[in-house]
Amino acid sequence: EAQVTQNPRYLITVTGKKLTVTCSQNMNHEYMSWYRQDPGLGLRQIYYSMNVEVTDKGDVPEGYKVSRKEKRNFPLILESPSPNQTSLYFCASSVQGGAEAFFGQGTRLTVV
Amino acid sequence: GDSVTQMEGPVTLSEEAFLTINCTYTATGYPSLFWYVQYPGEGLQLLLKATKADDKGSNKGFEATYRKETTSFHLEKGSVQVSDSAVYFCALRLLSRKLIFGTGTRLQVFP
């Protein structure tokens, strides 16, 4: 089954404690991206990757890092989380030039 | 800059009512347009899409037509069901493959 898998689904952490949210896709897609969803703001892109070892900032990259060492994986790293990063995070993938994006189930992060 | 504007919710309807959720966009060039749906506790799923002017996307009884002259992509359904209750996002996709989303519209359908 074609899917994008994120882990964990829920996470509560404390300010400053480094964390990683994993994202994996099994569709051999080149393009992957991370979004955060906040009430009244919709989804905003954090980072994206057009292929292995090629990443770039989206609209709200501050406080986040990503890496793309393998085509299927695109982890999101918060080196020092802060309460304003409390949000619902989605990973998505698509083929290069393809129209449809496939989304993971989401990770609800709370930073206290 | 490029953006998507959709009507604020929640939209509250009785079962079998007619649904319209308005969406307008601002973009340079000719974007592809999408409606995504998010059911409670789930990720976004593509509902329908249109890639050029006058295209009509349709799926599960929902329809939307790409109107270049009014820069709109309104979502419609003739008879909603309780199971259609969800959050609906209008989005555009640029040549860069970046998706730009509207803020989402929550639909609540009551029996």
Which of the residue ranges A45-49, A59-63, B97-101 would you say has the lowest mean pLDDT? B97-101
Q: How confident is the model at residue B55 (pLDDT cuts 50, 70, 90)?
A: very high
Search chain A and give the residue with CA nearest B42. Answer: A105
What is the per-residue pLDDT for B9? 85
Search chain B and give the residue with CA nearest A37. Answer: B103
What is the per-residue pLDDT for A95? 83
Chain B residues with CB-CB distance to A41 below 8 A: 103
What number of helices (H) and strands (E) belong to chain B? 0, 12
What is the per-residue pLDDT for B2? 87
Q: B43, A4: Cβ pair inside 8 Å? A: yes
Q: CA nearest A57: which of B43, B96, B110, B78?
A: B96
Q: How confident is the model at residue A99 (pLDDT cuts 50, 70, 90)?
A: low
Q: What is residue B72's three-state secondary structure? A: strand
Q: What's the mean pLDDT when you consider all of chain A?
A: 93
Average pLDDT over residues B81-85: 97
What is the per-residue pLDDT for B94? 80
Which residues have a Cβ under 8 Å from the Cβ of A39 and sit 6 or more positions away?
none
Which residues have a Cβ under 8 Å from the Cβ of A62 and sit 6 or more positions away?
none
What is the per-residue pLDDT for B28? 84
- The nearest CA of chain A is from the CA of B99 a distance in Å of 8
Q: State percent of chain B over pLDDT 90.
A: 78
What is the per-residue pLDDT for A74? 98
Please state, in angstroms and rounded to a whole number, the distance separating the CA atoms of residues A89 and A76. Answer: 10
Which residues have a Cβ under 8 Å from the Cβ of A67 and sit 6 or more positions away?
A55, A74, A75, A77
Which residues have a Cβ under 8 Å from the Cβ of B69 and sit 6 or more positions away?
none
Average pLDDT over residues A31-57: 93
Which residue in A42, A94, A104 is closest to B102 by CB distance? A42
Strands, E, within A14-58: which ranges?
19-25, 31-38, 42-51, 54-57
Average pLDDT over residues A45-72: 95
Torsion, Cα of A39, A35, A62, A76 (10° steps): 130
Interface probe with B: pick from A4, A6, A103, A107, most Cβ of B within 10 Å: A103
Q: B97, A50: Cβ pair inside 8 Å? A: yes
- Is residue B104 within 8 angstroms of chain A, CB to CB? yes
Interface probe with A: pick from B5, B21, B44, B46, most Cβ of A within 10 Å: B44
What is the per-residue pLDDT for A101? 87
